[in-house]
C-alpha cells in the first residue's frame, strides 16, 4: 500500500489538502462575520408556533396568550370553523415555516 505524500509547508505544517483548508478558512470567516453584516438575519417561527398554538380545544373563537407586554391573539374567521389545536397542527405549521 502506497502512502500519500502530504503537502507540508511552513504555511501548512499539518499537510492539510487545499480543499480542506479552503473550507476551514470559509468557516472561520463566517464565524467572525456577524449575521447583520452578512445580510443573513432571518426569522424562525418554529419556537413561536410551539408556544402560541393551543394545546387543547379552545372554548371560544379566540385564543389569547400574554407574556409581559407581548400579547398574541388567534381568531377564527368564521364561527363554523374552529381554531387548530393539539400537536398535529402545531407540527404541520412548524414544518411549513
- In angstroms, rounded to a whole number, what is the distance separating the alpha carbons of residues 83 and 97? 19
Q: What does the pLDDT look like over 11-21, one tens digit per residue?
A: 777 778 888 88
| Three cell numbers written together for 34 | 456577524
Q: What does the pLDDT look like over 39-82, one tens digit per residue?
A: 776 665 655 665 678 888 888 888 888 877 777 888 888 778 78
- Listed range (16-20, 32-36, 85-89) with the worst mean pLDDT: 32-36
- In angstroms, rounded to a whole number, what is the distance separating the alpha carbons of residues 95 and 33? 29
pTM score = 0.44
Helix ranges (H only) for 1-97 are 18-32, 35-38, 46-52, 87-96
Q: Pseudo-torsion of CA 27, 33, 35, 36, nearest 10°? A: -160
- Segments making up each domain of the chain, as ranges: 1-41, 46-96
- CB 48, CB 39: distance < 8 Å: no
Amino acid at each position: 500500500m502506497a502512502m500519500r505524500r502530504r503537502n507540508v509547508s511552513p504555511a501548512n505544517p499539518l499537510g492539510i489538502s487545499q480543499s480542506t483548508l479552503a473550507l476551514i478558512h470559509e468557516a472561520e470567516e463566517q464565524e467572525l462575520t456577524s449575521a447583520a453584516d452578512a445580510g443573513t438575519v432571518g426569522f424562525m417561527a418554529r419556537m413561536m408556533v410551539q408556544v402560541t398554538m393551543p394545546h387543547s380545544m379552545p372554548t371560544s373563537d379566540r385564543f389569547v396568550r400574554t407574556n409581559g407586554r407581548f400579547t398574541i391573539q388567534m381568531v377564527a374567521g368564521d364561527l363554523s370553523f374552529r381554531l387548530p389545536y393539539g400537536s398535529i397542527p402545531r407540527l404541520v405549521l412548524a414544518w411549513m415555516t
